[in-house]
Structure 1
Amino acid sequence: MAGCTGPGPAPPRRQAPAAAGAAALLLLGAALAGCTGGVRGEPGAAGLRDPYFPRLGNGGYDVGHYALTLAYDPRTRHLDGTAEITARATKDLSAFNLDLAGLTVHGATVDGERASVRRAGHEVTLRPRGDIGEGDTFRTVIRYSGTPRTVTDPDGSQEGWLPTADGALAVGQPTGSMAWFPGNHHPSDKAAYEVRITVPKGVRAVSNGEITGTRTAADGATTTTWRTAEPMASYLAVLAVGAYEVETSRTASGLPVLTAVDSAVARRGDTVRVLERLPDAVAWGERRFGPYPFSSTGVIVERAEDIGYALETQTRPVFPEDAFTEPILVHELAHQWYGDSVSPETWRDMWLNEGFATYAEWLYAEDLSGAPARQAHEAAFADDANWAFPPAEPPGPEHISGAPVYGRGAMVLQKLRESVGDEVFFTILKGWAAEHRHGNASTDDFTRYAEARSGRDLTPLWDTWLYGEEKPPRP
């Protein structure tokens, strides 16, 4: 990646003007090739052309690891951060982009050398001193700070950085992770993470994965390091700062469990009861969906006013107290297989997350209380909200979490079960999670997979239940 210092010697004077010009161009090209190792880079794309968020994510590289070093003080709401991003170039790069909203960038290096920084909205463009060759691994370090933003989604919900009474909660679906760290914020670029977070005395910080170190300073400030070894889409990253009661345990199979519950709600009866169901719910998921895909599990439970929805953040889903119920626990745990391990290729594929997790609720009720999933299907069929649009084709970004993505998405799976029979259906359910474990997949991938495993042409099913505009006759 060394920079070029000059074009080399001039051509001999005796050449004719046209020949001299051609020779000069040849010599210039040779000189440039010599000083860059043959790399003729171009800027990476400033977006991945997602159907609903075309400017989200960045082209030209694939992130393998994020190392985030953060310090947050709830009293001032100030965040200091350093992000070390290890990535591999997927093309010859002269420059590349990162997504970051609102925070101030103080400087950046690429492989230890200072890089130029340009901001345009949430795009941060870095230009290293020399081009990066396709296939090369490179390390980017960015220093930044400021007051992180709360992001309002197209559907009106809030994400990004949510201040709470005693701290903050960072959640990212679909675009909010750019509010607290720079990165390639599209679900198709998954990476491992290390988050080292320092908070003042009186509060704790909780993130994804497992704790690998804790250090307390003389003033009572605590630095905790969290490690997520398995690939994670950035929208599934979580950071919670507050007064939590943290408990650790293990499931019957030995899987580590870490729960963090806001101290204001930790002792309430309903919260305690649902927490007690966590190990059994994970074990049920393993029986139905296959091996649990990550190295730990747990939950974060907040006060109802801190967040207005539950979210499947990887290994540690987040719940407001009023949504911390057994069915919703099962829903968010099912996402660990469907959504977190098998992540959507684009945001158009959200029904693969929500339809599967909703069907998990139906299946759990069938297994534990004897209520057939068919009954839940009939109730969903009768709900007109589930027929507003086809689940595989939401009409815009404000609808990617709309009712059809959940309810009609689950109906697709019930109709698949009825079409292929239980034995084949449950083979598909487990096989799908195994086939794309820790990867990404699209709706087309799923329909092809279901047809291959069942040995059947299921086009009429997809045309009616997945893509159909009209409600069919009552089944």
Structure 2
Amino acid sequence: MIETRSNQGNGRLRTLAIVVVLAAGGAGAVSGTAQAAPNPDGAGYVAGASGSGDEYFPHAGNGGYDVLNYDLALHYTPPADPAVLEGNLNGVATVTLRATKDLQSLNFDLRGLDVTSVRVDGKAAKQGKSQGGNSAEWSQEQDDANRIWELTIGLQPNLKAGQKTTIVIEYGGTTGRPLDTTGALYGWVTTADGAMVVNEPEGAATWYPVNDDPEDKATYTFRITVPEGKTAVANGLPSGPPATKAGWTTWTWKASDPMASYLSTAGVGDFALSYDKGPRGLPIINAIDDGVPDAELAETTASLALQPTMIEFLEGQFGRYPFEAFGAIVDDDTVEYALETQTRPVYSGIASESTVLHELGHQWFGNSVSPSDWRDIWLNEGWATYLEWLWAEHRGVAAMPQQFSKAVEYLDAENRWALNIADPGRDNLFAGQVYLRGAAALHALRAKIGNKAFLAGARLWLTRHNDSTATTEDFEAVMEKASREHLDEFFDDWLREPNRPDMPRR
């Protein structure tokens, strides 16, 4: 991910500027918590956890179940007045899941939108605290001050581990421009002509009920109804042509590859769609907002035209592109932003060549293999930055040693080595060190263990953890296997220690 802001805590676009230079050489109401109705056979059943256990975002995600599929029917009205960036979103989320524990209740994350009804396996649930009977109960808690957004659903009958259930949730409300913990825009961001949807790290809850944990990957269907003349774009591939009725158009997209919730998107705007093909006929679908200025449009168009060549280049290094499609959503919102939303990265502002390569690289490193916990984000951003360096060298723009040296110069300044990028802290997830120290560590690792072992380790990493998540410790284990070397000291020096490590000799 790359994003820009001028305030502290937002290294995301300042990071973009660094990366580009290197590549170029130069108190909501709270109702009672829902509980399952009394069940004489319910001994041993538990409430699903209301958090995933992530140290940085303890209330994001949930426990006790695995989502298999989200089917999201969204009806969105963009702002009536472009000067007032508020829209209206109504949704019906059909969530198919499998219990991983014997459950009497479970939770979803949902922020700022009001639930109006819940059905569990076709049976209507009641709102409020359980009073017994044969139906499920649900309640909603929204505590923005503590970043707690929970929809709790009691289950009757209880759900045994291994059993599937389908839950249908109707909800809606006003959309605005939500902020993450650093003050950066994320989630369902209302724009003058529609919406830009960028969830990292835990913003998916701003537009649908979700288990917002990278470890719970699922497939998706998006049915997005917008005013006639607007275009809605999401992950994956279109499922038939758009259908218009009574002034509203429904666009349907299906994402068949398992996807972490932070990588889902559903952009709405005055987009023009274009089509290209990558290796083996891979569908590439680009959506560019007609409000993108001409100067930015020229650079963006040229960068996107390189996508097939970029995919071919990275496949040669790391193996086959991991998903069913690729492409881009280019919005004209005023905040410069880029995020590796799966199969269809989102860009606001210019999609530069290095940024397009960065977000493409994430499809392998971050999307196919995602971080188990947010502390492991350097495995996303360090790799994507390192791949920029490889591409710049391939294009004859800047040699790897030169780019590595510039990164070291950045890290030397103001003792930026002091940040432990294997555990940077919640509000340093997108600090420049995460990107550049991460990339520098990979360059140094390649020098230490050699090209053959490094590439073998990278490919083993991608195959062993494909469509899954992993940790820094998992990465070290893979590289030790590939190199047959003990690498504890190396990873401590390059990721964790607050001092400048010894520089590689080759």
Q: TM-score, normalised on structure 2?
A: 0.84
User: Counterpart in 1 of 2:441?
Assistant: 412
- Distance (whole Å) between structure 1 residues aligned to residue 165 and residue 245 of structure 2: 37
1:74 deviates by 0.7
Tell me the residue number matched to 1:9: none
Please give the per-residue CA displacement for 1:233-268, whole angstroms capped at 9, x wherever unaligned.
000001110001101221242100100001122863
- Secondary structure of the corresponding residue to residue 303 of structure 2: helix
Indicate whether 1:468 and 2:478 are aligned.
Answer: no
Q: Is the 8 A contact 2:238 2:254 kept in 1?
A: yes
Does residue 1:339 correspond to 2:366, yes or no?
Answer: yes
1:222 aligns with 2:262: no
Deviation at 1:110, TM superposition (A): 1.2
Q: 2:337 aligns with which of 309, 320, 324?
A: 309
After TM superposition, the structure 1 stretch with the greater mean CA deviation from structure 2, 346-355 or 104-113, is 104-113
Match of 1:390 among 420, 424, 427: 420
- 1:44 equivalent in structure 2: 48
SS at match of 1:118: strand
Equivalent-residue separation in structure 1 for 2:37 and 2:496 (angstroms): 54
Equivalence for 2:141: 120
After superposition, the Cα gap between the structure-2 partners of 1:108 and 1:4, relative to the gap in structure 1 and judged at 3 Å, is closer
2:349 and 2:262 map into 1 onto residues whose CA distance is 22
Please give the alpha-carbon distance, in whole angstroms, between the structure 1 residues aligned to 2:49 and 2:336. 34
Equivalent positions of 1:34-73 (< 5 A) are 40-73=44-77
> Which residue is 2:401 aligned to?
374
Corresponding residue number in structure 2 for 1:75:
79
Distance 2:174 2:241 in 1: 25
Offset of 1:362 from its aligned partner?
Answer: 0.7
> Is the 8 Å Cα contact of residues 418 and 497 (structure 2) preserved in structure 1?
no
Q: How does 1:2-401 map to 2 (within 5 A)?
A: 32-33=40-41, 40-75=44-79, 77-115=87-125, 116-121=137-142, 122-265=149-292, 268-305=297-334, 307-322=335-350, 324-369=351-396, 371-383=398-410, 384=413, 386-394=416-424, 396-401=425-430
| Structure 2 residue identity aligned to 1:118 | S
The separation in 2 between residues aligned to 1:279 and 1:232, in whole angstroms, is: 22
Change (3 A) 1:437 1:98: same
Structure 2: distance between partners of 1:299 and 1:156? 25
Deviates more, 1:331-340 or 1:313-322: 313-322
Mapped to 1, the partners of 2:488 and 2:402 lie a distance apart of 25
C-alpha RMSD of matched pairs (Å): 1.7
| Aligned partner letter, 1:113 | K
Amino-acid identity (%): 41
Equivalent residues, number: 441
1:276-307 per-residue CA deviation (whole Å, 9 max, x = no partner) reads 111111111111121000000001111250x4
| Contact 1:290 1:434 survives alignment (8 Å) | no
CA distance in 1, matches of 2:333, 2:438: 27
Are the aligned partners of 2:37 and 2:154 in contact in 1 as well (CA < 8 Å)?
A: no
Deviating more after overlay: 436-445 vs 272-281: 272-281
d(CA) in 2 for partners of 1:240, 1:174: 18
CA distance in 2 between partners of 1:463 and 1:361 (Å): 24
> Aligned partner of 2:452: which letter?
E
Structure-1 residue corresponding to 2:132? none
- 1:362–1:354 distance in 2 versus 1, CA, 3 Å: same
Deviation at 1:216, TM superposition (A): 2.7
**Following the alignment from structure 1 to structure 2, what is the Cα–Cα distance between the partners of residues 328 and 296?**
18
Distance in 1 (alpha carbons) for counterparts of 2:38 and 2:55: 43
What is the CA distance between 1:5 and its match in structure 2?
Answer: 8.6
Q: List alignment gaps of at least 5 residues for structure 1.
A: 7-31
Letter in 2 for 1:82: V
Post-superposition offset of 1:371: 3.0
Deviations 1:366-393 (Å, cap 9, x if unpaired)? 2221633222111111113642402101
User: 1:471: Cα distance to partner?
Assistant: 1.8
Q: Secondary structure of 2:344's match?
A: coil
Which secondary structure does the structure 2 equivalent of 1:416 belong to? Answer: helix
User: 2-side partners of 1:468 and 1:286: how far apart?
Assistant: 33
SS at match of 2:364: coil
Amino acid paired to 1:48: S
d(CA) in 1 for partners of 2:456 and 2:317?
A: 10
Local SS of the residue matching 1:283 = helix
In structure 1, what residue type is equivalent to 2:57? Answer: F
State the distance in 1 between where 2:101 and 2:246 align: 48
Runs of at least 5 residues in structure 2 that lack an aligned partner in the other structure: 1-35, 81-86, 126-136, 143-148
Q: Is residue 455 of structure 1 aligned with residue 476 of structure 2?
A: no
* Counterpart position of 1:17: none
Structure with max Cα Rg: 1
CA contact (8 A) 1:255 1:295 kept: yes
Asked whether the equivalents of residues 107 and 142 of structure 1 are also in contact (C-alpha less than 8 Å), the reply is: yes
Greater RCO structure (CA 8 Å; 6+ sep): 2
Q: Structure 2: how far apart are the matches of 1:40 and 1:138? A: 19
Q: Deviations over 1:196-241 (max 9, x none)?
A: 1111112110000000123433434211111011110000001110
What is the TM-score when the length of structure 1 is the normalising length? 0.89
What's the secondary structure of 1:457's corresponding residue?
A: coil
- Match of 2:386, SS state, is helix
Instruction: State the 1:80 CA deviation.
Output: 1.0
Deviation at 1:4, TM superposition (A): 8.3
